[in-house]
Amino acid sequence: MEFLKIFFWISLFIIFYSYLGYGILLFLIIKIRRILGLSKNFEGNEDYEPEVTLFVSAFNEKDYLEQKVKNSKSLNYPQDKVTQIWVTDGSDDGTPELLKKFDGVEVHHKDERAGKIAAMNRGMAFVKTPIVIFSDANTDLGKDSIREIVSLFRNPKVGCVSGEKRIYSKDADSAAGAGEGMYWKYESQLKKWDAELYSVVGAAGELFAIRTELWQEVEKDTLLDDFMISLRVAMSGYTIQYNPEAYAIETASANVKEELKRKVRISAGGIQSVVRLRALLNFFKYGTLSFQYISHRVLRWTLTPLLLFLIIPINFVLAQNEGVLSFGLFSILFWGQVLFYTAALLGWFLENRQIRLKALFIPYYFFIMNLSVFLGFGRYIKGNQSVNWERAKRDVQTEAVA
């Protein structure tokens, strides 16, 4: 019984640390560094305004093309310094033909569909500017996004800059939209603190940029191209910085089923990334970056979801030992878990009946996030996760932004 108690408390600590404790620790470290004057802003050359390439890999994105090109041309950056490159491998809905009708858009099409990363590897040969900015076809960029991204590259130690992902929201949000929106707000704050401490741990694929010279071809079966590309830049001795003023907006998944599909792919890619970036687990070589990587990513993709599952029966055994209906500590914690997962189940029940109670979206979305890790791990082990684009159905776009 003592072993179970020790295992339970260690597991509970790791779970707490993964989702909240690391954020609290970061906050305290940042506060202390600011008090001691250790947090310094790099000003650099204010006139730094290099040529950039907006790079979009697209598969059958006909419905988004006009809006995306229009949005890209409206950004607050000299248009003579912006090159638009679209790589449309495998598209057969008229995407490449329609793109060629727009002035100032460079299109590189190939009939064969080999997946996003193959398109990126091929398309990067056409990039001639010092900075390349990656973005998705179905996202709109904030008006000052390019300028905000470029401003951080004034620091020669910065090799990658991640923008912020924002989610369109509505008054009567779905669980997917509300949950995803709240999750990204929390993630955004963690990224700000990560960047201030040393480096962000991975960029958001919706909008990120790297120094073109730091590009490394990525394995063709890579699932999380943005994560692998950005972390390998960091492993080269540069930092990944974060600027929430550079942002990409997209609609939330249409429902939790579609969101689960997306997250299972991300989870499978997360496991793949942990395996391929295993050298980054070496504290002696990567120091602070390793600490951030393990705390912010590795635990969430590996150990924490497993412990969430294991502590339920262990907590029940410990609660039963002191009396399940007593007011003992283990009993209180057990019934707290029961209440949490009941709320998640109720959230699922109400969502399927189009009854939306936002108070239940957090436990529901949290459950979906961790369920996706188990499903993603299964896909990774079986090796049946396709590298081809598989777009989740999106919700109807509205004017408000989460």
Q: pLDDT tens, position by position, for the chain (402 residues)?
A: 889 999 999 999 999 999 999 999 999 999 999 999 887 777 777 789 999 999 999 888 888 899 999 999 999 999 999 999 999 988 888 888 999 889 889 999 988 888 889 899 999 999 999 999 999 988 999 999 999 999 999 999 999 999 998 876 554 455 555 555 677 788 889 999 999 999 999 998 889 999 999 999 999 888 899 999 999 999 999 999 999 999 998 776 555 666 677 788 888 889 999 999 999 999 999 999 999 999 999 999 999 999 999 999 999 999 998 887 788 899 999 999 999 999 888 877 776 666 666 667 778 878 888 888 888 888 878 776 666 655 555 544 443 343
Query: Is residue 121 located within the same domain as residue 195?
Result: yes
Query: Is residue 158 located within the same domain as residue 224?
Result: yes
Query: Is residue 56 located within the same domain as residue 158?
Result: yes
Confirm whether 391 is domain-assigned: no
Query: Is residue 92 located within the same domain as residue 224?
Result: yes
Query: Is residue 291 located within the same domain as residue 347?
Result: yes
pLDDT of res. 147: 95
Q: Which of 200, 229, 252 is the last residue of a domain?
A: 252
**Residue-number span of the structural domain to which 67 is assigned:** 52-252
Query: Is residue 132 located within the same domain as residue 215?
Result: yes
pLDDT of res. 289: 97
pLDDT of res. 344: 86
| Contact (Cβ atoms closer than 8 angstroms) between residue 88 and residue 55 | no
Confirm whether 353 is domain-assigned: yes
Query: Is residue 33 located within the same domain as residue 99?
Result: no
The β-bridge partners of 253 are 394
Query: Is residue 350 located within the same domain as residue 221?
Result: no
Query: Is residue 90 located within the same domain as residue 234?
Result: yes
Confirm whether 390 is domain-assigned: no
Confirm whether 271 is domain-assigned: no
- Pairing, β 158-169 against β 239-251: parallel
Query: Is residue 330 located within the same domain as residue 192?
Result: no
- What residue type is 213 in one-letter code? E
Confirm whether 47 is domain-assigned: no
Q: Please state the domain count of the chain.
A: 2
Distances (CA, A) of 110 to 86, 90, 95, 387, 389: 11, 6, 12, 16, 15
CATH number at residue 143: 3.90.550.10
Confirm whether 29 is domain-assigned: yes
pLDDT of res. 181: 61
Distances (CA, A) of 361 to 142, 156, 195, 259: 28, 42, 29, 13
pLDDT of res. 113: 85
Phi/psi zone of residue 37: left (φ > 0), alpha (ψ -120 to 50 degrees), beta? left
Query: Is residue 31 located within the same domain as residue 56?
Result: no
Reported in sequence order, the residue ranges of 70-157 that DSSP labels E, i.e. its strands, are 82-87, 105-108, 131-135, 140-141
Q: Which of 237, 252, 267 is the last residue of a domain?
A: 252
The structure's pTM equals: 0.86
Query: Is residue 243 located within the same domain as residue 287?
Result: no
Confirm whether 74 is domain-assigned: yes
Q: Which residue matches tokens 């305290």? A: 28
pLDDT of res. 353: 67
Confirm whether 23 is domain-assigned: yes
